Structure 1
Amino acid sequence: MAVAGEITVRERIQFASGDFFVGGGASLLSVLYLIFLTDVVKLAPGLAGTAVLVAKLWDAVNDPLTGSISDRVRTRWGRRRPFIFVGALLLVPVMALFWLPDPPPASQVGLAVWAALTYIAYNTVQTVVSVPYSSLSTEVSADFDQRNKVNVLRLLFSRVASAGTTLLAARLFEDYRHGRLELGELYLVIVLGFGGVFALIMLGVALFTRERVPAPARVEPFTLAGFLAPLRLSPYRRLLGMYLCQALAFDVITATVMYYTLYVVTGVSSQVLLGIFIAVNVLAFPVVNVLVGRVDKHRIYRTLLPIAVAMVFVVALFPRGANPVLLYAATVVMAVGFVGAQLMSWVMFPDVLDAAELATGQRNAGGFTGLMTFIRGLATALTIQLVALVLQLTGYRAPVGTEVVAQPEAVQWGIRLTLLVAVAVLLSLGWWIARRYPLTLARCRAMQDELAARRGGAPASVG
């Protein structure tokens, strides 16, 4: 059926709630999966990182293929929502395999193969949901200000989901390690609790949201050159670099925080450390919601980053046995410095699609999203592999049961230096890239006017 009028508040909330899965699912993996493989499945760290890397290589096919197909599909329900609906139905079954705590293989190689294959299955379903969903974020409204509101609201839902998922996941794992929670109970909470909530929310997105930006009348065939075409657009390259720098820096933080609090600076709560980042993001939401319509978005991204770079030295080198309150205070300052970069990438993404449409006449959001998530996924896998190899090469000792074992000094310093060097370098690089981002606020509004003139008041697509 035809979609008339602008997006309503109810639909805006319904669509933005989808970031409960995008943000919450990513947080669940970042916080728990590596330590789940090393300390529950008992897979050697090097093999665990390799399994993640192999699975992520599948994204070289999966992400761009899903984005390209969704760009080219034409149905009465729109281009994106059929994918979201099917993926949501498959989410809980695939999570049941992915988080199985006692897989059938007995050997280390067999466990690594199992981990890789189940991760490939999960990646496939996750991509079928998240790539069309991210693409739809550029199409639920054709109005610049309404689209900003939708995407900033997505950030709020994402941060709330990340907060709940991160803190609950960390608490559940700590309860398991201290004998307050059975392994079977942990498994059921992850699969039925997290998975069930994620699936229901995405089903709601598929059923109750619509596309409003007209789909291109001409469908381009898929080619390798077409897949790589977004990289020819300067704003896209800059945004991709900015996105990767902040995302990978936070990946390093979430991948190391459980090891950091269990083995390096004991007596500190991983839940509090992660909760600080998320609380700062949520508190910053109303400020960002005002600023995005008044200030260049790349300035919001980069202005406070030097503070975060300075504070990562304090956090990474914090003395063992010192007052935890001082560490929490340093983390608050670090989170404040980080907040603009964390909140901006997907708010800036629709502006890049406007620039692409002006340059090419096409608005292939799926291809842009697929390439972006593919590179992000591959970079994340390499980051996890780096953390895993540091643990392996420095002599990490996996627990036999649920006890917290003492780790050698080499392991402790490996964790500290990984956190310090990776986060400081990535955030510094993100700051440098942001200085050269070309889409100012004035340019974005001018692009909106030019696109409206070109479309000549064309009606929204069916959805």
Structure 2
Amino acid sequence: MTKFVSNLSLILYSSGSGVIGINAVIFGTWVLIFYNQVLGLNPILASLALGIALVVDAISDPLIGAWSDRFRSKWGRRHPFIYSSILPLCVSFYLLFTEPNSYSQSYLFWKLLILVLIIRISLTFYEIPRASLGPELTKDYDKRNFVNGWAYVAAVVAGTTVTFVMYSYFLTETEEFTGNKAFLNPDGYKYFGLLSGFLIVVFGLISALSTHRFIPYLHKAESQASFSINNFLKELFECFSNRSWLVMLLAGGFYGLNIGITSGTSTYINTYFWEWTPSTISLFPVIAGAATIVGAILAIVITAGREKKNIAVTVFSLGLIIDPLPIWLRLLDGIFFIDFFPLNGTDSLWWIMIIHTSIVDALRAMGFVLVISMIYDIVEDSQINTGRRDEGVFMSGPNLIQKILSGFGIFLLGIVMQLFGFDNTNMSQTEIAQPIRGLVIFQSIIGPILSLAGIFCLLFYNITREKFHRAIDDLGYRDN
């Protein structure tokens, strides 16, 4: 297949990850603070809605993946799913940030839950089949890093774009919302939802249309490979016999739990811990996004001729050490009464934080580009034993554990925020100082522990460059 697909086609295909970048920014930064601090939804109810939706999403991932593996149509196995998901994603992201008809707790809870369920399931219909195209489009060990590197770039560009526009143009200060209170201006969120929905259509269609002409050359489901729950469960358990996939499941679980307990709190920390205003940090996503693009490209370059696992473990380990340093140093200020870190509002703090964020994001980009590429390589490793190409199952499998534990983590976060006092949405900067300190301490301890556990799991991934090439030769896929 590789001989038919140019680098430009692979880049256009990878641009579809822009949808994932926008989704990550929305749920990682804006949804929780919008529903809790702007609309006044209790943090436990907000986290419960997000957690339920994520668990439902986790269950749907492998089901949709297995279904698309066996789907037969004139548009192939994957494209019908991708096309059908784009419009629901666009509309539901816009509605998520519209002004509610009622501010009652029950109405806000059900609006959040229903819309997030639609978004999560639509995203599964989009991303699992779309991501499953990757191992089909190229079976070259290093070119898979190329595909995932550009996918990460697209995700960053999309996420950076909506974040920069949000900070610079939508969250403007008014007479009512001054200083860091500009984060709570509800008008900005409506336009944010509209922009996000529009860009999702653009990125989604570019990815789908750019690969449409390759449908005749893609793998086709066998006529007898009809989907059923019994066959799905049987084949899923067969996949569990693959050691490298089990490793990715466990690593994804620790990562998911970590994401869950940190999801949506970055804006709280920026607003109340570092005391930034939107205009002050409007350049953060742009500069950090550029660093992330550099990291994704470095992953492609550095890994050429080397083992993916070794480099992934190295960069994740560096990130584990560097990521929590600013918060740890700031927390030490209150213990030893010595300034280990620049004071809020100073230029030196801004420069240190932008450099720190850029380094961490670049390392994270390198790591995740390689991790997705490592999952690609499991497809042929398993096919040697099962005779099947289960891209959909393998791309969705780690998400199953990751999202279930992430859903639990989000619910746990809601309980923690309730205990720390975030159910009060009208606190002054002085009153919120203690709750935000408690939240930061909690995350700065639990986060590194979970990250370390995930890195440890990656050490047991056993697909080397040599083993991969042997599988490609045995299956008759050698492109060169």
TM-score, with normalisation over the residues of structure 1?
0.86
Partner of 2:470: 446
Structure 2 residue aligned with 1:49: 47
Change (3 A) 1:159 1:265: same
Is 1:62 matched with 2:68? no
Superposition deviation, residue 277 in structure 1: 4.9
The answer as to whether partners of 2:383 and 2:389 remain within 8 angstroms in 1 is yes
Q: Pick closer, same or farther for the CA change 1:65–1:144 going to 2, 3 Å.
A: same
The match for 1:158 among 155, 180, 184 is 155
Residue 429 (1) aligns with residue 453 (2): yes
Q: Which residue of 2 aligns with 1:21?
A: 19
Gaps in structure 1 of 5+ consecutive residues = 458-463
CA contact (8 A) 1:308 1:336 kept: no
Contact 2:148 2:369 in 1 (8 A): no
Q: Answer yes or no: is 1:207 the counterpart of 2:209.
A: yes
Cα deviation, residue 394, structure 1: 0.8
Shift of 1:420: 0.8
Change (3 A) 1:334 1:214: closer
Q: How far off its partner does 1:132 sit?
A: 0.9
Return the match for 2:377 from 326, 351, 358: 351
Tell me the equivalent position of 1:130: 127
Q: 1:36 is matched with which residue?
A: 34
Which string of whole-angstrom CA distances, capped at 9 and with x for unpartnered residues, describes residues 197-233 of structure 1? Answer: 1112212322230354423424154323334443332
1:239 aligns with 2:248: yes
Deviation at 1:431, TM superposition (A): 2.1
Q: 1:362-401 counterparts in 2 under 5 A?
A: 362-396=388-422, 398-400=424-426
The one-letter code of the counterpart of 1:219 is A
The question of 1:219 aligning with 2:225 is answered yes
What are the residue-to-residue correspondences of 1:7-406 with 2, within 5 Å? Answer: 7-102=5-100, 104-171=101-168, 174-175=171-172, 177-178=177-178, 185-209=187-211, 210-211=214-215, 212-217=217-222, 218-219=224-225, 221-222=227-228, 223=230, 224-246=233-255, 249=258, 255-267=264-276, 271=282, 277-319=288-330, 321=343, 323-324=348-349, 325-335=351-361, 337-396=363-422, 398-400=424-426, 405-406=429-430
Partners of 2:371 and 2:282 in 1: how far apart?
Answer: 25
Cα-to-partner distance string for 1:103-155 (whole Å, 9 max, x where unaligned): x3443133212211111111121111111111112222344444342222212
Counterpart amino acid of residue 379 in structure 1:
L
Q: 1:183 to 1:265 in 2, by over 3 A?
A: closer
| Cα separation, 2, equivalents of 1:155 and 1:90 | 24
Query: Using the alignment, how far apart are the partners of 2:239 and 2:431 within structure 1?
Result: 46
Moved more, 360-369 or 158-167: 158-167
Partner secondary structure for residue 376 of structure 1: helix
The C-alpha deviation readout for 1:53-79, integer Å capped at 9, x for no partner, is: 122232244222322221121111111
| RMSD (Å), alpha carbons | 3.0
Residues 63, 205 of structure 1: alpha-carbon distance in 2 compared, 3 angstrom cutoff: same
Report the residue type matching 2:28 in the other structure: S
- In structure 2, do the counterparts of structure 1 residues 278 and 384 end up closer, same or farther at CA, with 3 Å as the change threshold? farther
| Structure 1 residue 347, shift from structure 2 partner | 1.6
CA 279–423 in structure 1, closer or farther in 2 if over 3 Å, else same: farther
Counterpart CA distance in 1 for 2:352 and 2:188 is 32
**Whole-angstrom distance in 2 between the partners of 1:371 and 1:137:** 16
**Displacement, 1:367?**
2.2
Evaluate the alpha carbon distance shift between residue 205 and residue 404 of structure 1 in structure 2; reply closer, same or farther with a 3 A threshold: farther
SS of 2:219's partner is coil
Pick which of 36-45 and 324-333 moved more. 324-333
TM-score (ref. length: structure 2): 0.84
Tell me the number of residue pairs that the alignment of Structure 1 and Structure 2 aligns.
450
Say whether the 8 Å CA contact 1:67–1:370 is kept in structure 2.
yes
What letter is aligned with 2:104? S
Distance 1:389 1:68 in 2: 35
Distance of aligned partners of 1:372 and 1:417 in 2 relative to their CA distance in 1, 3 Å threshold: same
Structure 1 residues 8 and 100 mapped into 2: Cα distance closer, same or farther (>3 Å)?
A: same
Q: 2:442 aligns with which of 407, 412, 418?
A: 418
When residues 35 and 248 of structure 1 are mapped into structure 2, their CA distance, relative to the original with a 3 A threshold, is same
Contact 2:9 2:210 in 1 (8 A): yes
In the alignment, the residues of structure 1 paired with residue 471 and residue 357 of structure 2 have an alpha-carbon distance, to the nearest angstrom, of 39
Q: Supply the AA of the counterpart residue of 2:61.
A: D
| 1:326–1:142 Cα change, 3 Å | closer
Per-residue deviation at 1:19?
Answer: 0.7
